[in-house]
Amino acid sequence: MMLRPLDSIDSLHTALAQSAVRPAVIFKHSLTCGTSAMAMAEIEDLTGGASFAADVYLVQVQRARAVSGAIEASLGIRHESPQVLVIVDGRVVWHASHFRVTAAAVLAAVRHHAAATLVN
């Protein structure tokens, strides 16, 4: 599985709409931050597994400031980077930033919220 770029408002709207069918993970990455580089390695570890049950999107904040701002405005989560948001049915069900962005934490959040969605 690879990271899908979120580089336009249209691609953001598509990702949010698709989260009604399959959870979405949005990773906001700063190209100039060492902490963000470590978080990127965690996200890459996460997407290396074939059984990950979510679509994973990448926002490079320096290159897609409008998208980063639209995420904050439409989802109500203050911008930080690195930052990861788990989205189900168009709403944020879990988020973390900085050193809390780990493959294990994101995997646990997706599994928990994907299971809860299937039950409801």
Kindly list the distances between the CA atom of residue 29 and the CA atoms of 7, 54, 91, in Å, as whole numbers in the listed order. Answer: 12, 18, 20
- Average model confidence (pLDDT) across the chain: 91
pTM of full prediction above 0.85 = yes
Q: For residue range 46-66, list pLDDT tens digits in order.
A: 887 666 789 999 999 999 999
Query: Over 37-90, what HEC string results?
Result: HHHHHHHHHHHCCCCCCCEEEEEECCCCHHHHHHHHHHHCCCCCCCEEEEEECC
- CA 70 – CA 119 distance, rounded (Å): 30
